[in-house]
Amino acid sequence: MKNNVLSPRLKSIVSFVEKNCIIADIGTDHARVPIYLLQNGIISYAIASDIGEGPLEKAKENLQYFNLTDKVSLRLADGFKGIKNNEADCGIIAGMGGEVISQILNEYIPISINTLILQPMTDSHFVRKAVADLGFTIEKEDIVIEKDKMYIVILCRKGKNTITEKEQYISPALKKHPLFKEYLAYRLKRMKNAATNAQKAGANTLMLKEYEILNEEYKINFD
């Protein structure tokens, strides 16, 4: 990796990272996020964890290339399981399905983690419910356009929060984003045929629930 150019998704993630925090980048892959944060003086140390030996080896090579090996602790682990309490205060999980992210969060989060930056590729409602159940509140959501697709990045902080079923799909923070209407239209368009097919098959009730909530709330017709 001769340069560390971030995708729009990763740029959104790093924009949420507070200066001088210690991040635990879960599923770090090639360690692009910690490398960027260190190169730009936003943080001075990071933990980069991945469940795969291959990605960690690539992360190690990249850290060596940028002379940052002493600034990042690499961990071979599932989720946060390789990270002790008080080692990090900000957890980052990106590029996974929302259900997988929620499973990781429910299994173990170090007590010292007071901020979560989460980027689900799908099923963001699982993530919103999980963070609320675990005592985090959603402070902000970003909507990112990348390669003609739209993604959500969620910033959470510790603080008790209740969440309704509707807010699992459309959070108050999401509604505040200037691209919210465009995102809503994007989601409904993508879901329309899939929801119709699922209804015919009598399956995928969660997807049908999301479609019904979005469509009933905003009465948008794409016929």
Mean pLDDT per 10-residue interval, the chain, length 223 residues? 84 98 96 97 97 95 96 97 96 97 97 98 95 96 96 95 90 94 88 66 66 72 43
Asked whether residue 158 falls in the same domain as residue 208, the answer is no
In a domain, 2, yes or no: no
Q: How many domains is the chain built from?
A: 2
Asked whether residue 96 falls in the same domain as residue 189, the answer is no
183 close to 149: Cβ distance less than 8 angstroms: no
Backbone angles phi, psi at 128, to 5 degrees: -60, -40
Asked whether residue 108 falls in the same domain as residue 149, the answer is yes
Q: What pLDDT does residue 198 have? A: 61
The token duo for 90 is 């900000």
Asked whether residue 121 falls in the same domain as residue 155, the answer is yes
Asked whether residue 138 falls in the same domain as residue 44, the answer is yes
In a domain, 178, yes or no: no
pTM value is 0.92
Q: Is 132 helix (H, G, I), strand (E, B) or coil?
A: helix
Position of tokens 């599932």? 78
Asked whether residue 143 falls in the same domain as residue 195, the answer is no
Instruction: Count CB-CB contacts under 10 A for residue 88.
Output: 25
In a domain, 149, yes or no: yes
In a domain, 176, yes or no: no
Q: What pLDDT does residue 205 have? A: 67
Domain that holds residue 142: 8-162
110 close to 81: Cβ distance less than 8 angstroms: no
